[in-house]
């Protein structure tokens, strides 16, 4: 067996031509808001991440170096003040330095000290170099800053649980599912100046960003725009969770004995609220790939991909129109015949730009490990032409209740396609859900995560040789009441290839001709207009024609007509026609508390509230937070920047017609244009391409803006003769 191990190591050394940077982690069987969980994995407390792991590098000849220990960080045995845990290494474009996150310190018995992840940079990665580690300056102090990467302009992109606006009383933000603490979004830091910018405000969290070869920032985001299930339980089962509303987001806001939700529609389990309506109830819960520019503009799902392209089934929104139907994707002739639910730990294949590899894993039980999948999504590919490939068998996505399928080879995470074409991944042969098979004092995880090569076998991939011979440790820590002791082989996580990479050109968005034409005709300088928006922390949202929808989307009303334009064409002249009059906006406010009004838990959950930001001054309408839909179907509105936003079309009485299912964030000064809602991928319901009309609603908005720029007649400055 010793000879076989030497042979395998030799074969692996020839297929891995560059060093591999990775982290080790003391195994932790718990999988809810812990270090390897799908969500809420940002906590640095000892019950979420046992100390004792390190930043490691493996050189092509198989030699290992413990970088953090060599640089003076970490300790053996009982974990104390010098204890560390590490995570999320990411290489610089030069291949000479890397970012990672580290927490320092472990509690003494019965102490519950606050700990946070902070970002560090390491240099000296060569085999004969002495590594040097420094802490990144000007990052948010007192908050968990994780998954850092280098932007093309040398700024640092990362996720953090810093409150959206920096208000400490809103900490932590609580997610839309379990009201567990979450990161607030994607941030950008200029280390030298300390300039900090929120690129994406996510009510339930974003994860593992990368900058792809096309200059796009791509990340996983949790999409769960549902009503509060804890509040539903309180309403139906009694005061189980103690949910309540704050009057507003201010620190001393009144605690109200109420649970008010205005958007979206009730969850499907609230049959009492759905009774007597035509609503089916809303369920949406997945982790999708998203993209954004490095300055935070142009946020959307990757290539505009959505449930119609990736999921196998979801329900319709209403039940009294036969033209509105449930979605069954497989076997309908769509391009993608391999459905996925989630897409975690995204990496771009360096040998095939535009090919992205990730993990489709269940939310719980497996530490975000499951099936490795890939999809092609170069920027020019329409979403309805994206196809998913199964890299490991479908069975590896699941946790079998009994005997696993014959091809179930365990669970996978952190896939890493190398520049040589080799595919590495973190693997455990365990097919069951993880649990502590030991005791609190002597914990034992079922999972043994090791970095391995994947090898093709009968048309799929199976685990091959491990990257290392196994890294051993013996540590103990206070959890904090009980002393826990563990010895064995450490988990190996988050591998990255240590090599230089071409730095892409950062993607930017330009004003397209339909909108540029309106600016020219109205005599408005777009840059001056954007500058004014930026000063007021506003963005402008423009849609060219909200009555058009993608051809695949028949799960919401799609036979739409502007109420003020009865001669507009419809998708199905013999079907039910829905007149739309307003686009109603909602902003994400942190106003839901939990734990009771007397002594609530720290933090607040985001709820949708009709847009009320005083800076977003649009012409008043009978619908709160609404703007009028122009006769050509276009919409233009001022909206608050750097805050999660959503919307719906309504009829003249404010009754919702088409509801948005996602949150979006806009940047100060951004003029964001979409063709329609739901946007057209290739063709709309009438077989037409995306709308190219110059939106008349934008013209009206610019006219209004120009009028505001003129001082009142009595205050105009006299002209000297």
Tokens of 615: 């800076």
Quick one: which of 466, 468, 443, 444 has its CA closest to 454? Answer: 466
What pLDDT is stored for residue 331 in this prediction?
76
Q: What is the mean pLDDT of residues 333-361?
A: 97
The per-residue pLDDT of the chain, averaged, comes to 94
The pTM of the full predicted model, rounded to 2 decimals, is: 0.95
> Is the link from the previous residue into 461 a cis peptide, with omega within 30 of 0?
no
Are 43 and 37 in contact by the 8 Å Cβ rule? The answer is no
Residue predicted with more confidence, 711 or 460: 460
Please, what sign has the CA dihedral across residues 162, 165, 166, 168? negative
Residue 28 has pLDDT above 80, yes or no: yes
Q: What is the mean pLDDT of residues 189-207?
A: 98
Residue 153, number of CB atoms within 10 A of its CB = 11
What pLDDT is stored for residue 676 in this prediction?
87
Residue 43: partners with Cβ closer than 8 Å, 6 or more residues away = 33, 34, 49, 144, 181
Q: Model confidence over 647-673: pLDDT tens digits?
A: 999 999 999 999 999 999 999 999 999
Assign 48 a pLDDT band (cuts: 50, 70, 90). very high
What's the CA gap between 608 and 527, in Å, rounded? 31
Residue 665: partners with Cβ closer than 8 Å, 6 or more residues away = 185, 198, 199, 200, 201, 202, 296, 299, 641, 642, 643, 644, 645
Segment holding 656, helix H or strand E:
strand 656-659
Q: What is the mean pLDDT of residues 15-21?
A: 93
Least confident of 67-81, 384-398, 489-503, 701-715: 701-715
Taking CA atoms, 323 is separated from 309, 313, 557, 649, in Å, by 20, 17, 8, 18
Residue 716 has pLDDT above 70, yes or no: no
Residue 5 has pLDDT above 50, yes or no: no
Assign 13 a pLDDT band (cuts: 50, 70, 90). very low
Least confident of 329-338, 346-355, 376-385, 465-474: 329-338
Assign 569 a pLDDT band (cuts: 50, 70, 90). low
Q: Model confidence over 605-633: pLDDT tens digits?
A: 999 999 999 999 999 999 999 999 999 99
What pLDDT is stored for residue 269 in this prediction?
95
Q: Are strands 578-580 and 604-610 parallel, antiparallel or unpaired?
A: unpaired
Q: Model confidence over 666-703: pLDDT tens digits?
A: 999 999 999 888 889 999 888 899 999 999 999 999 99
Residue 720 has pLDDT above 70, yes or no: no
Structural domains of the chain sorted by starting position, each given as residue range(s) with its CATH number in brackets: 2-225+284-318+337-497 (2.120.10.30), 513-714 (no CATH)
> Is the link from the previous residue into 678 a cis peptide, with omega within 30 of 0?
yes
Tokens of 379: 């920027």
Assign 591 a pLDDT band (cuts: 50, 70, 90). very high
Residue 8 has pLDDT above 90, yes or no: no
Tokens of 683: 């063709």
| The Cα angle at residue 228 between residues 225 and 230, in degrees rounded to 5 | 145
Tokens of 458: 């009968």
Q: State phi, psi for 687 to the nearest 5 degrees.
A: 80, 10
- How does DSSP classify residue 522? H
What pLDDT is stored for residue 573 in this prediction?
58
Q: Model confidence over 455-501: pLDDT tens digits?
A: 999 889 999 999 999 999 999 999 999 999 999 999 999 999 999 99
What pLDDT is stored for residue 568 in this prediction?
64
What pLDDT is stored for residue 666 in this prediction?
98
Q: Model confidence over 433-448: pLDDT tens digits?
A: 999 999 999 999 999 9
Residue 14 has pLDDT above 50, yes or no: no
- How does DSSP classify residue 518? H
Residue 306 has pLDDT above 60, yes or no: yes
Please, what sign has the CA dihedral across residues 690, 691, 694, 696? negative
Tokens of 526: 């777009």
What pLDDT is stored for residue 3 in this prediction?
27
What pLDDT is stored for residue 721 in this prediction?
41
* CB crowding 3-19: b at 16 or more within 10 Å, else e: eeeeeebeebbebbebb
What's the CA gap between 182 and 198, in Å, rounded? 15
Residue 176: partners with Cβ closer than 8 Å, 6 or more residues away = 203, 204, 224, 225, 226, 228, 605, 606
Q: Model confidence over 257-278: pLDDT tens digits?
A: 999 999 999 999 999 999 999 9
Assign 2 a pLDDT band (cuts: 50, 70, 90). very low
Local structure of 542: helix, strand or coil:
strand
Percent pLDDT > 90 in the chain is 91
What's the CA gap between 657 and 511, in Å, rounded? 29
Residue keyed to tokens 């092509």: 60
Of the CA atoms within 13 Å of residue 518, those in its CB half-sphere come to 23
Our CA dihedral for 497, 498, 502, 503, rounded to 10 degrees, sits at: 100
Residue 452: partners with Cβ closer than 8 Å, 6 or more residues away = 424, 425, 426, 427, 463, 464, 465, 466, 467
What pLDDT is stored for residue 567 in this prediction?
65
Residue 35 has pLDDT above 70, yes or no: yes
Taking CA atoms, 709 is separated from 162, 413, 414, 547, in Å, by 36, 55, 53, 32
Assign 719 a pLDDT band (cuts: 50, 70, 90). very low
What pLDDT is stored for residue 497 in this prediction?
98
What's the CA gap between 539 and 312, in Å, rounded? 35
The beta-carbon contacts of 487-490 under 8 Å, at least 24 apart in sequence, are 488/27, 489/448, 489/450, 490/24, 490/25, 490/26, 490/27, 490/52, 490/53
Q: What share of the chain is helix, strand, coil (3-state, %, to 5)?
A: 10, 30, 55
Q: How far is CA 501 from the centre of its chain?
A: 25
């Amino acid at each position: 067996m010793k000879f076989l191990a030497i042979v395998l190591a030799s074969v692996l050394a020839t297929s891995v031509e560059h060093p591999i940077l990775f982290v080790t982690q003391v195994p932790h069987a718990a999988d809810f808001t812990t270090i390897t969980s799908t969500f809420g994995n940002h906590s640095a407390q000892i019950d979420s991440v046992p100390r004792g792991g390190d930043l490691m590098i493996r050189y092509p000849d198989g030699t290992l170096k413990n970088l953090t220990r060599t640089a003076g960080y970490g300790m053996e045995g009982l974990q104390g003040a010098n204890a560390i845990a590490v995570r999320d290494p990411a290489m610089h474009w030069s291949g000479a330095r890397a970012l990672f996150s580290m927490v320092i310190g472990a509690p003494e018995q019965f102490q519950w000290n606050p700990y946070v992840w902070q970002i560090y940079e390491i240099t000296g990665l060569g085999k004969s170099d002495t590594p040097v580690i420094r802490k990144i300056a000007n990052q948010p102090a007192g908050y968990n800053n994780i998954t850092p990467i280098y932007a093309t302009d040398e700024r640092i992109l990362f996720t953090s649980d810093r409150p959206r606006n920096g208000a400490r009383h809103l900490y932590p933000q609580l997610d839309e599912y379990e009201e567990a603490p979450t990161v607030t979004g994607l941030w950008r830091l200029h280390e030298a100046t300390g300039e900090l910018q929120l690129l994406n405000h996510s009510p339930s969290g974003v994860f593992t960003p990368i900058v792809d070869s096309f200059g796009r920032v791509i990340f996983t985001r949790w999409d769960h725009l549902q009503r509060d299930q804890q509040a539903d339980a309180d309403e139906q089962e009694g005061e189980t969770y103690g949910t309540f509303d704050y009057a507003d987001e201010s620190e001393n806001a009144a605690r109200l004995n109420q649970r008010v939700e205005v958007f979206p529609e009730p969850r499907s389990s609230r049959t009492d609220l759905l009774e007597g309506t035509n609503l089916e109830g809303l369920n949406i819960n997945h982790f999708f790939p998203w993209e954004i520019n490095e300055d935070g503009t142009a946020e959307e799902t990757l290539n505009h991909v959505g449930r119609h392209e990736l999921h196998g089934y979801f329900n319709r929104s209403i039940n009294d129109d036969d033209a509105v139907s449930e979605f069954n994707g497989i076997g309908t002739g769509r391009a993608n015949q391999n459905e996925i639910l989630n897409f975690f730990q995204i990496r771009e294949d360096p040998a095939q730009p535009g090919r992205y590899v990730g993990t489709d894993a269940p939310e719980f039980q497996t530490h975000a490990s499951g099936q490795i999948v890939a999809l092609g999504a170069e920027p020019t590919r329409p979403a309805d032409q994206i196809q998913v490939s199964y890299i490991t068998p479908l069975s590896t996505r699941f946790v079998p209740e009994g005997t696993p399928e014959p091809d179930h080879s365990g669970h996978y995470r952190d896939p890493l396609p190398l520049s040589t074409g080799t595919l590495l991944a973190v693997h455990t042969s365990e097919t069951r859900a993880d649990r502590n098979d030991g005791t609190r004092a002597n914990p034992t995880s079922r999972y043994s995560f090791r970095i391995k090569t994947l090898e093709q076998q009968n048309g799929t991939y199976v685990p091959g040789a491990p990257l290392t011979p196994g890294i051993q440790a013996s540590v103990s820590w206070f959890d904090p009441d009980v002393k826990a002791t563990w010895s064995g082989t450490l988990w190996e996580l988050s591998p990255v290839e240590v090599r230089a990479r071409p730095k892409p050109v950062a993607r930017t968005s330009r004003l397209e001709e339909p909108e540029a034409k309106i600016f020219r005709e109205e005599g408005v300088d777009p840059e001056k207009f954007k500058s004014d928006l930026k000063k007021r922390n506003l963005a402008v949202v423009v849609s060219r024609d909200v009555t058009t929808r993608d051809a695949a989307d028949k799960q919401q009303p799609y036979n739409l007509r502007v109420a003020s334009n009865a001669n507009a064409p419809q998708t199905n002249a013999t079907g039910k026609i829905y007149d739309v009059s307003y686009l109603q906006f909602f902003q994400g406010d942190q106003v839901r508390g939990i734990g009771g009004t007397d002594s609530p838990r720290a933090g607040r959950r985001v709820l949708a509230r009709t847009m009320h930001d005083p800076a977003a001054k649009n012409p008043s309408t009978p619908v709160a937070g609404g703007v009028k839909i122009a006769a050509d179907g276009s919409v233009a509105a001022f909206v608050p920047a750097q805050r999660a936003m959503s919307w719906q079309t309504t009829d003249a009485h404010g009754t919702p017609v088409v509801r948005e299912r996602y949150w979006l964030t806009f940047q100060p000064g951004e003029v964001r244009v979409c063709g329609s809602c739901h946007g057209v991928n290739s063709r709309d319901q009438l077989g037409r391409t995306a709308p190219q009309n110059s939106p008349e609603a934008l013209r009206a908005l610019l006219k209004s803006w120009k009028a505001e720029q003129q001082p009142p007649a009595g205050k105009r400055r006299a002209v000297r003769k």
